[in-house]
Amino acid sequence: MKQALLILLFLNLFHDVNAQSDTLLSKFNANVVGEKVLLAWRIKAGNTCDGIEVYRSTDTVNFLLLGNVEGICGNLSFPVDYEYFDESPVPNSLNFYRLNLGGNGFSHVISIWYFDFSEKDYFISPNPVRESATLRFKNDSGLEVNLFVYDLIGNEYLRLKTNSDNFVLESSMFEPGEYLFRLQSEDLNSEPVSGKVVFVR
Is omega for the bond preceding 89 within 30 degrees of 0, making it cis?
A: no
| Whether residues 10 and 75 fall in one domain | yes
Q: Clarify whether residues 11 and 89 are in a common domain.
A: yes
Quote the domain boundaries for residue 88.
2-114
Q: What is the pLDDT of residue 21?
A: 62
Judgement on whether residues 146 and 192 belong to the same structural domain of the protein: yes
Asked if 73 and 155 sit in the same domain, the reply is no
Instruction: Tell whether omega for the bond before 128 is within 30 degrees of 0, i.e. cis.
Output: yes
Q: Which amino acid is at 118?
A: S
> Residue 122: pLDDT band by 50, 70, 90 thresholds?
very high
14 and 94 assigned to the same domain: yes
23 φ, ψ to 5°? -75, -15
pTM over 0.75: no
Bridge-based pairing of strands 80-86 and 25-33 is: unpaired
| 194 in the same domain as 164 | yes
Number of folded domains in the chain?
Answer: 2
Question: Domain ends where: 114, 137, 154?
Answer: 114
Would you place residue 20 in the very low, low, confident or very high pLDDT band (cuts 50, 70, 90)?
A: low
My answer on whether 24 and 60 are in the same domain is yes
Average pLDDT over residues 124-143: 92
pLDDT reported for residue 118: 78
Q: Which residue, 114, 137, 159, sits at the end of a domain?
A: 114
| CATH number reported for the structural domain that contains residue 185 in this entry | 2.60.40.10
